[in-house]
Structure 1
């Protein structure tokens, strides 16, 4: 449905490379160049600056990209609406999710999505953020749902939910009842952290470093491969840990852990939806992408899970 020249233009713009765009579109590089040249001739403007290996949008190119993206979204919405006229959306959906998202958020989103689209079949793989991005780049999955921005520049990123990392301690800890503790107090207690490669680990490490407290000054007792393992370790008295606020509602209600406010430390991040750079998704992938990004769906699907602030 989309004007093919605009589709080629968006691919080159997103990847800042004629070569990468040609690979994603399964075209030869000369064919991509011809489509861009024809579009520039048709519009009477230069869309890209090409200096050596660098490809950058001109001012006109940046303006056109906004309209091209808007056009692609409208056409995809039309495709989806037309498909719904003949019945429910169907097809296979391959998703990857980082561990926190997979354990605490994705099941509720998928439950709501499948209620509306029962003919969709699902395949879900989980891992830490870096592992999910690797699956995406290998095209083992169509979409990824991860914690924070990925390190890779080869993916398209959209926020779908905000998050806050909170410090938790066993219910009988000496800090129970305190309104807050000084930041330097963290050097006096054993900590449980996620493994390297985890989005949670990266955002905690960056926030502590920015606050003037690098990991080298802390007592790291254990590195664990899931949020659930950290919560269990804290409950067992092995140490304190930073976890997503979406993950501890049950533990707080049961009274097995407490949350502790640390002075001059606020750790916020985004949960993001990622796909490989290239043409916009179509069919069931596009339907799920829209569903996950719709703010009226996500909070409703997660109501009752988040901790009170």
Structure 2
């Protein structure tokens, strides 16, 4: 429904590159340049400054981009509304997911969701909890799925899954065959933790405080940006780490690492759906929200 030249313009403006835009649109680079040239000829004004190493929008280009994005949103809403008359959910859903959810949980949910809603198109970005909430508030994503409590009062959250954080150790570590260890032992070993801003990091630190283990006593050997990095670090003998049961499942099954219980330490967290405060979502966002909540499992109470 959208004017194709405007679609090409939005792609070039977003990517700041004719090459990347051509790849995203599955067009040749000369064809992209030709569409932009034709649009500039039609409007009688330059939209891009090509004098530098990277192309940049001119003031006119920045103004047109605002209207082009608004037009694309309105046309997408119109398409969704028309298809709703036929009883089908259709349109684009911009989804953000925390790292562990994006890697280990979301693919299972999306597979089933898209089978039920084949006319929905998905765009998924991942990051830590703070990054996903920030993207949500900026409007870059419509819905988020996060691993920790959001540090914002401008969002509405709802639990869709319980998750447990478990301690993993190298297979050759002396704790590997012990089954469980006293809490105080954690202060004697190097720990691999997620980076600041991660929901996983926040939940683990809160559990330590609640159990009476001062954070200042911990030997934090390394901060890493994903559960996969912690798993690899533990397997390589760089330290011990806490990761989601979802993330650890394959490595434990293959015997790459071992799981150890810590006496007096239970780390549960709620994986939550998050959206901006205000009217309830509609269209694909509403369908996904309902679908994700229908998958809700209370493992903690089991």
**Normalising to structure 2: TM-score of the pair?**
0.70
- Corresponding position of 2:17: none
Match of 2:153 in 1: 153
- 2:232 corresponding residue in structure 1: 232
Distance between the aligned counterparts of 1:227 and 1:217, measured in 2?
23
Deviation at 1:132, TM superposition (A): 0.3
CA contact (8 A) 1:126 1:132 kept: yes
* Matched residue, 2:18: none
More off after superposition, 247-256 vs 209-218:
209-218
Q: 2 CA distance for matches of 1:141 and 1:117?
A: 19
Partners of 2:87 and 2:109 in 1: CA distance: 21
1:195 corresponding residue in structure 2 = 195
Alpha-carbon distance in structure 2 between the residues aligned to 1:216 and 1:95: 37
8 Å Cα contact 2:83-2:90 kept in structure 1: no
Whether 1:175 aligns to 2:175 is: yes
Determine the structure 2 residue equivalent to 1:248: 248
Q: CA RMSD in A?
A: 1.9
Give SS of 1:88's match: coil
SS at match of 1:105: helix
What pairs up with 1:5-24 in 2 under 5 angstroms?
Answer: none
| Corresponding position of 1:205 | 205
Aligned residues: 219
2:164 is aligned to 164
SS at structure 2 position matched to 1:197: coil
Output aligned runs, 1:1-309, within 5 Å: 86=86, 88-295=88-295
What is the alpha-carbon distance in structure 2 between the residues aligned to residue 210 and residue 272 of structure 1? 22
State the Cα distance separating 1:179 from its structure 2 match.
2.5
Q: After TM superposition, give the deviation of residue 215 of structure 1 in Å.
A: 2.0
SS of equivalent residue, structure 2 residue 208: helix
Determine the C-alpha separation between the residues in 1 that align with 2:187 and 2:138: 41
SS of residue in 2 equivalent to 1:275: strand
Q: Is the 8 A contact 2:133 2:150 kept in 1?
A: yes
Please, which runs of 5 or more residues in structure 2 have no aligned partner? 1-79
* 1:115-156, Cα deviation, whole Å (9 max, x unpaired): 111111111111100000000000111000001221100000
SS at match of 1:124: strand
1:50 alignment counterpart:
none
**Within 1, Cα distance between the matches of 2:121 and 2:254?**
35
Distance 1:231 1:180 in 2: 19
